[in-house]
Amino acid sequence: MSGPVSPLAPKSFVDMPPVRGVRMATAAAGIKYKGRTDVLMMVFDAPATVAGVFTRSKCPSAPVDFCRDNLGGGKARAVVVNSGNANAFTGKKGRESTAMTAVAAAKAAGCSEGEVFLASTGVIGEPLDATKFSGVLDGLATSANEDFWLEAAKAIMTTDTYPKVATRTARIGDVEVRINGMAKGAGMIAPDMATMLSFVVTDADIPATTLQALLSEGVEPTFNAVTVDSDTSTSDTLLLFATGAAAADGQKPVSSPSDPALAAFRTALNNLLKDLALQVVRDGEGARKMVAITVEGAENDGAAKKIALSVANSPLVKTAVAGEDANWGRVVMAVGKSGEMADRDRLAIWFGDVRVAVDGERDPGYSEEAASAVMKEEDIAIRVEIGLGSGKATVWTCDLTKAYVEINGDYRS
């Protein structure tokens, strides 16, 4: 959080109106960072329905296990998030820490421990002293207020250089509902389900099973299509809550995820998820460039995504972008190593609007000057045509700079 803000950061923060039914408060518990907030508590006035997606890492954090256990209940009354310590790879102590936090949160919110959700982010392998923040939860539950989204987003930051927030509205039938979201993440970003930590709340009245279907569908082309460094976190957690407050406005119950009344809501939710996911990439540790990689003509959409991620995660591609070098040969390399079908002699590659390679060789009209001009932009589009089928996918990444090495070389110090 200290130091310069990413040059790719939003020029201004969106105004975040309250979402009825949820209140938030933050505190500085000194878990790792000094002189800044590092604990967030969200309190739901009435039980909210909840959906979640989590890391597929085989070494998940204790809070991820805790949330998975509680998700089946489908109800939430409180969320506690801390930054500075991931409570991952902490064994029995980690489980005891989550249990202690859940007891304190349930007491503060006046609910059962099964209605509490927890998330932690920061250093892996360090025991988390839950007494540092469990003692502040009573005060947070009392002081929590609706109009607190930006401050809440700041409290969950680690190496982020700016808080990440987004808001949308949609109609379900004749009733307008709101969706607000926040996220944190800058490094260890290669989501394999959701990403980093993200919390989204709507005042819509939607049952948990339908909410889960919407979230699981919406995460694939958004959070699961971004990568900073190819490293999937142990702590990835995305939770979506519906407070149901819109029912008082006359919102009619929805029957299933395919209910036509949810069409606008689904679009707005997916738009918000993409907004947050791209904000994470734009804050990639040390990032100076944002890169959109689109693969077309693959055998199928899954193959296209795998090829696109192979390009996006290549250190050689990412360092070429950092150096503003139009080295399209590195894209050829990344396509070839992906493990998916590709035909060298059908391959075509574009940097921006400049076709640099076609039919298995350099474009006859190739201009180094034109290609280099594209690489000087802050936002760069790389497009690859495989020429085998109709599969298509887009993923987003950032460049790999010396600053990334510096940030991660002394992350624990």
At residue 255 the predicted structure's pLDDT band, cuts being 50, 70 and 90, is confident
Q: What is the pLDDT of residues 306-356, one digit of tens each?
A: 999 999 999 999 999 999 999 999 999 999 999 999 999 999 999 999 999
The answer to whether residue 194 scores a pLDDT higher than 80 is no
Check residue 125 and give its pLDDT.
94
Is 113 known as a binding-site position?
no
Residues linked to residue 120 through DSSP beta bridges, in sequence order: 82
Q: Tokens 């002189």 — which residue?
A: 35
282, 317, 345 — which closes off a domain? 282
Print the domain residue range for 41: 22-282
At residue 410 the predicted structure's pLDDT band, cuts being 50, 70 and 90, is confident
282, 315, 331 — which closes off a domain? 282
As given in the structure block, the two tokens for residue 37 are 């907030």
In a domain, 167, yes or no: yes
CA distance 246 to 86: 35
In a domain, 14, yes or no: no
Are 371 and 267 in the same domain?
no
Is 195 known as a binding-site position?
yes
Average pLDDT of 208-221?
97
In a domain, 8, yes or no: no
Are 122 and 235 in the same domain?
yes
Are 188 and 227 in the same domain?
yes
Is 161 known as a binding-site position?
no
In a domain, 69, yes or no: yes
Are 207 and 316 in the same domain?
no
End-to-end CA distance of the chain: 15
CA distance 361 to 221: 31
As given in the structure block, the two tokens for residue 305 are 């995504």
- Pairwise pLDDT comparison (172 vs 193), residue with the higher score: 172
Q: Is the pTM of this model over 0.85?
A: yes
Check residue 409 and give its pLDDT.
87
* Residue 225 near residue 396, CB atoms below 8 Å: yes
Check residue 170 and give its pLDDT.
98
Q: What is the pLDDT of residues 261-290, one digit of tens each?
A: 999 999 999 999 999 999 999 999 999 999
Is 146 known as a binding-site position?
no
Question: Catalytic residue at 161?
Answer: no
Are 113 and 248 in the same domain?
yes
Are 203 and 347 in the same domain?
no
Are 332 and 261 in the same domain?
no
Supply the angle between the helices 329-336 and 301-312 in degrees, to the nearest 10.
130
In a domain, 13, yes or no: no
Check residue 158 and give its pLDDT.
87
The answer to whether residue 75 scores a pLDDT higher than 80 is yes
The answer to whether residue 217 scores a pLDDT higher than 50 is yes
* Residue 24 near residue 37, CB atoms below 8 Å: no
Is 70 known as a binding-site position?
no
- Among the listed residues 196, 185, 216, the one whose alpha carbon sits nearest the alpha carbon of residue 279: 185
In a domain, 12, yes or no: no
Which domain CATH number covers 317? 3.10.20.340
Which domain CATH number covers 80? 3.60.70.12
Average pLDDT of 143-151?
96
Supply the angle between the helices 208-218 and 263-282 in degrees, to the nearest 10.
50
Which of 131-145, 202-216, 272-286 is predicted least confidently? 131-145
Average pLDDT of 109-130?
94
- Among the listed residues 153, 94, 157, 92, the one whose alpha carbon sits nearest the alpha carbon of residue 121: 157
Are 297 and 274 in the same domain?
no
Q: How many domains does the chain have?
A: 2
H or E element at residue 306: helix 301-312
Are 192 and 308 in the same domain?
no
- Among the listed residues 286, 189, 282, the one whose alpha carbon sits nearest the alpha carbon of residue 238: 189
Check residue 193 and give its pLDDT.
82
Check residue 1 and give its pLDDT.
47
Average pLDDT of 203-230?
96
Are 74 and 145 in the same domain?
yes
In a domain, 6, yes or no: no
Mean pLDDT estimate for the chain? 95
Are 124 and 266 in the same domain?
yes
Average pLDDT of 372-383?
98
As given in the structure block, the two tokens for residue 122 are 């920061």
Which amino acid appears at position 199 of this protein? F
Which of 2-6, 122-126, 145-149, 222-226 is predicted least confidently? 2-6
CA 405 to chain centre: 22
As given in the structure block, the two tokens for residue 198 are 């993200």
In a domain, 10, yes or no: no
Catalytic residue among 195, 234, 237, 243: 195
Are 106 and 173 in the same domain?
yes
170-188: b or e for each residue (b if 16 or more CB lie within 10 Å)? bebbebebbbbbbbbbbbb
259, 282, 305 — which closes off a domain? 282
Give the phi and the psi of residue 344 in degrees, each rounded to 5: -50, -40
Q: What is the pLDDT of residues 10-28, one digit of tens each?
A: 999 999 999 999 999 999 8
Average pLDDT of 40-45?
97
Is 243 known as a binding-site position?
no
Report DSSP state, residue 361: E
H or E element at residue 263: helix 263-282
